[in-house]
Structure formats: C-alpha cells, structure tokens
Structure 1
Amino acid sequence: MTEGEVATNGENATGKDIQDIEAKIIRQVEYYFGDYNLPRDKFLQEEVKNDDGWISMETMTKFKRLASLSTDAEVITAALRKSDSKLIEVHESNTKIRRSPDQPLPIFDDKIKEETMKRTVYCKGFPKDGSVTLDDLLEYFKAYGPYETVLMRYFFNKEDKKQGFKGSVLVVFPKEEKAKEFMELGEVKFKDTVLIRKWHTDYVEEKKKEIEERRAKKEARKKENQDDDFVEDELEIELPKGIFLHFTGFSEGNDITREDIKEALGENVDQCAWIDFSRGMTEGYLRFKEADFNKIVMDKLEGKIKVKEMEALATTGALVRVGVSPSGRWCLYCA
C-alpha cells in the first residue's frame, strides 16, 4: 500500500435494509479480503493458508478499524450475511469467515500493479486540521463512485510528535474508464475548495523528478565545498518510545522499493509513518505512529522482513540521534 492510513472498499452491493453500522462492517471486511488489499497484506496471506482459508473471528476483531465498529462476532457475521456481493463466506458456526472460493484472488504481479496505477487518482485540497475523517471521505467519494479504495496520506509532525493528514488522498477506481470520467469532470470541489487532481502515475513521476533535482543540487553544493561538515551528535529527542525499527540483510544492488517493504508489513502498513530506504541499499529504517508498535511488528514478522525471496533482520532500538541516513538524507533515525 501506498503511504497512508487504512483504505476501505467502497463498492459493495448491499440491501436497502442494512443499517449504517452493518454497511460499514461489510465495507471494511470486504476491503480486508478484496482484490486490492489481500494481495498486499502479508499477515492475512499467511493466515488464509491455514484452515482452508478460514480466519477466526477472534483474529478478525483484532483489526483496529473493524474493532472500532464492533468486536461482537455475532454482530459482524450477521452483517456479512446481508452483503449482496457474496465475497465473504460465513462459517455455519459463526466463529470464522473467509473469502469465497467462488471468487478466486487475481495473481498479484507487476502487471496488476501497473494496471492498478492506471486507475488511481491523486486528489489534494482537503482540510489538514483533523476535521476530515476517513468516513467523511468515503461518503464524499460516493458521488463519484463506485470506487475500490480511498487512501488518506499522512506525514509525521515533529512539533506535535503526531501524525498529520497531508490533505491528499489516493482514490482507486474499479475500472480505468471510471477514473477517466472523474478526471474529465470540470471543477471538483470539497466544500468551497477546488481539488487538485492528477493521475497517480504522473504524480509519482513528478515526485521522482523533485527528488532527482534535490539530489543534484546537493551534489553541486558538495563539489563547491559549500556543505558544512556535519557531526552526528546524539541528542535526547522526545519521541514516543518503540516507534523505530532497523532492518539489514538485503543483497547489494537489489531492486527492492519502499512500496515492496510496505507490502511486507501487511496489515501493519497503516501504522507506518516513514521509511528510510532506497533501491539497492542493504539496510534501512521504519518509523511507526504509535509507541511500542515496533515490538508488535517484530512479533508478527518473527524478526524478519521478507521481500522478493530476500530476508532482512529487523531489530528495535531505543536511542534516537540526528545524522545522515543510509539513503543520504539528514533525519532522525534509530541508533
């Protein structure tokens, strides 16, 4: 998943008698098992290999967003039985669920990734003051739907030491034609603000060029000896404890990307605030949103980050210092 908060399926077909909370439960669970999330969710992928694809309700109710809706297995399974999409199958015991074998998951490969990018739109112009929630955005984009996924994008606010909404989202439509319809609309507003809309592929290319330009300027400064010598000083930084994870062990010259590492985090990707890693590097750093979350990730990944048949050893760290990161940026990182 691309950087950001939990994304949610937005195109389930449900009956008119379904209550609002039940509709949200259906939408969230169908997102977990949907074509977009399941191939990227390493945790769920491992879980569905057991027990013929069945996942216990005990496991499901540990998922943060679903748990915020309900932790009652009876309520959740009753709602899922009302979905017209028939994506989710409920066991007769009401103690576990699975993706219906009648709807096999597409093979997740580079072709699928490329196809998904072509139907993804970047939208910017939403309030950054915390007044807009994911539920607000899900409701807003219904007018332009159906959509497959809405992904809020976040950054780490150093002053408040909290996650902040960037004011931009990624909207994945079910078909490229639907995305084109949205892009070809005249002015699109959220309240009184006109939204900036770009194809995700164009946005990514723009960011690549910006990074290349910054690197070129940095190299130019180095050649002119304009860079001051930088001494790494260990500092006492008031950041939440347990939010950093260091990983090392990838082979030199690898083609692993930050997106690949996000996918390896599975369901924990929504807690990832920042990744310091560039293609070809052997090590990098992860920063999470919540205190002590690095231990949770360590336990779920069994101390290893597995990407493209390669493994990197993950370790936690309590010290934080200012310095030059492995990718050449000045930042805060795990000592």
Structure 2
Amino acid sequence: MSNKCYVAEVSTLPLIMTEGEVATNGKTADADKPQDMDSKIIRQIEYYFGDYNLPRDKFLQEEIKNDDGWISLETMTKFKRLASLSTDSSVHENNEKIRRAPSHPLPIFNDEVKEETMKRTIYCKGFPKDGSVSLDDLLEYFKQYGPYETVLMRHFFDKESKKQGFKGSVLVVFPTEEKAKEFKEVKEVKFKGTYLIRKWHEDYVEEKKKEIEERKARKEARKKKEEKEGEDNKEEDATEIESPKGIFIHFSGLKEGSEATREDIKEALGDIADQCAWIDFSRGMTKGYLRFKEEDYNKQVMEKLEGKLKVKDMDSELRLVEGEEEEEQFKKMKEARSKARANAGRKRKSGGRGGHFPNKKRKF
C-alpha cells in the first residue's frame, strides 16, 4: 500500500485518512477517537486543504502542481502553526504525503467566491488583546455556534516592537449564509463575561471604507482651509470655534485610584468608540467626560448603552451634559485647542523640534 494519504470530504468538512482506510460517519472503522493533539493536527491540515484556505494560499497552489496534488508531510510541518502542534516523529513517517481528494475539485478563487464567502462571514469583536486567547481557544469557543468553516484572528504589526498583536476581533466563516444569520441573531453572545460586537463582514468592510473616505475628506478640507486662510488665520481665537450641541456625556462611579485608562474606557465603548473624539479622564479618577463627533450623538449613546458603561470590572453611570455644564465643557475644549495652536505656532517659528537647539548638529 502506498504511504500517501488523502483528504476526503464528509458532509461539508474534510477528513484526513490514509489510503485503504474506510470512512464511517467521520471516523475510521477500526480507530478509536483521536487524542486531543491528533485532533488539532487533523483540523489544521483540513484547514490548509479546505475550500477557504487552499484557493487563497499561493505557496500551496504552487506545491500541488509538482506531484499531482501530493505534498509531503515533511513540507507541511514547516508551516508555523502545524509545526507548533506536532513533531517530525508524530506527523510524518516513511515519507508520507497528503493531498486534497480529487473527488472534491478546488473552487476557483474569483470575485464571485469572495463575494459569496463574505455573505456568510461574521465580524466579531470583544476578545482580550493581552495574548491570553489562542486560536485553539477560539476554535473551541465557537463550536457552540457551529458548524463553522474557519475562524480567522485579526492581527496588526507593531513597527516599533516588530511584533504582531491581536486586534481583539475575528472573522467567523460559516458553511452557509443561514448558519451565519443564526449566529448573528443570537440575542447575547459573551466571551468570559464580555459582550461581543457582531456585524456582517460586508457591513464592517463598508463602514471602514466610509471611515477612511471621511477621514481623507476631512484631511483634504483642513488642508485647503489652512492654505486659504494663511498662516495667521491658523491661530484664530478659540471663541470662533463652532459649538455643536449634544456631544458630551458625563460618566461616574469608577473606583478611586483604579488603574483604568482612557484606552480602557474607549475599548468599553465597543463600536461606539469610533465616534468618540475625546475622553477627559486621567488614571485614578472616578469620573470624566466623553466628547463625540456628531451633534446630538450623546442621546444615541445613552439609548444604546442604556445609561451604563462597564469599564473593566467597574460599572459606571452615564448622563447627558446640558446647559451650563455643556457650555463649561465647550470652554475647556476651546482653551485646549487654542493652547495647541499656540504651541504649534511656536514650534513653526523656532524651526520645529530642533529649533530650540540652533547649535546642535544633526546626525545623518
């Protein structure tokens, strides 16, 4: 018998089998339930050869052209995640090889496939960003809402530390749009006590596009305005700044001396955070103010959060800022902007950061 093995699909999920074995409801006829590590290894290989990953994986696409679709398990274990789950002795012996079952043709990866996949994908945010959550944790967690096709952790790259970080959000790809809709319509979804924000992936992408376009438009408008008004008009009196109504919310009830930061408060706002322009708060304080970008947006926030905001393990109370209190907040905002403009003007006149040290030589 050949030392090659193949990926055969059962229902909508692939199953790893060696040639000559018989599939019985997702198990081999003479095999016991695989150990946890074996299950993880099989699941990872199934992902590599599955409908979602293989059409998108350029490296595997090139490899399967060389040997009628077969790839050695020695090559597979060089993949970072599979390498972390396995050892040479436990995964590839006797030069075994693996491939996707020819009876299940590979989907053509085109715009139609991208669009169809997006329609059954849910964006999910609210997971810890501190490194305490692994992909295995997430795969296990989403089993209760399955079956799912895959779970993709979203990462960012920190240029300073040159390390990847977890954004706290994932994309969950379900086998059908109906299954995705079922998950989307679950009333409450929590992970370790934290409510998860769920959106259709398509809606999330459109929101981000809109944000980028609006940010670009504001930047261009600001640039044109500065060019038109000239250098002197940049330092206009703070009293001339427009004062839209309904943009402030007061929060209180945090523990005195707590380690909560502005970043923690912004994270607690969830998808509302994108509309928050400023948080007037310092570590150790029990209360502060939220300032939003759009007029009368504070009422929408109050309605959505039902007057409460959970920051870490603390419950804070929210209330609208109106009347004299609102005028006082506008005054503080204008003073801060005026001070920032004045500082910027001094830097320009002194030649920027190096202007205070005219005799200091620059190093190149």
Q: Is the 8 A contact 1:11 1:145 kept in 2?
A: no
Q: Mean Cα displacement is larger for which, 162-171 or 114-123?
A: 162-171
Distance 1:146 1:226, change over 3 A: farther
Which among 80, 83, 106 is matched to residue 67 of structure 1?
83
Q: Is the 8 A contact 1:146 1:174 kept in 2?
A: yes
Q: TM-score, normalised by structure 2?
A: 0.53
AA of the residue aligned to 2:175: P
Q: Is the 8 A contact 1:11 1:146 kept in 2?
A: no
Summarize the alignment of residues 11-26 of structure 1 with structure 2, pairs less than 5 Å apart.
11=13, 14-15=26-27, 17-26=33-42
Aligned to 2:141: 140
Q: TM-score, normalised by structure 1?
A: 0.57
Q: CA deviation at 1:159?
A: 5.4
User: How many residues in Structure 1 have an aligned counterpart in Structure 2?
Assistant: 205
Q: Partners of 2:96 and 2:87 in 1: how far apart?
A: 12
Taking every aligned residue pair, what percent have the same amino acid on both sides? 76
Higher helix fraction: Structure 1 or Structure 2? 2
Q: CA deviation at 1:157?
A: 3.4
Q: CA deviation at 1:104?
A: 1.3
- Is 2:47 the partner of 1:46? no
Q: Deviations over 1:192-218 (max 9, x none)?
A: 101000000000000000000010011
Q: Is the 8 A contact 1:38 1:44 kept in 2?
A: yes
SS of 2:132 mapped into structure 1: coil
Q: Partners of 1:163 and 1:65 in 2: how far apart?
A: 15
Summarize the alignment of residues 1-335 of structure 1 with structure 2, pairs less than 5 Å apart.
11=13, 14-15=26-27, 17-72=33-88, 75-76=90-91, 94-158=95-159, 160-225=161-226
SS of 1:129 mapped into structure 2: coil
More RCO (CA 8 Å, sep 6+): 1
Q: CA deviation at 1:226?
A: 6.0
Q: Is the 8 A contact 2:122 2:199 kept in 1?
A: yes
Q: CA deviation at 1:184?
A: 1.0
Q: Partners of 2:219 and 2:46 in 1: how far apart?
A: 46
SS of 2:142 mapped into structure 1: helix
Q: CA deviation at 1:163?
A: 1.8
Q: Partners of 1:123 and 1:226 in 2: how far apart?
A: 42
AA of the residue aligned to 2:207: E
Q: Partners of 1:77 and 1:148 in 2: how far apart?
A: 26
Give unpaired runs (5+ residues) of structure 2: 1-11, 16-25, 232-364
RMSD over aligned Cα, in angstroms? 2.3
Larger radius of gyration: 2
Distance 1:129 1:220, change over 3 A: same
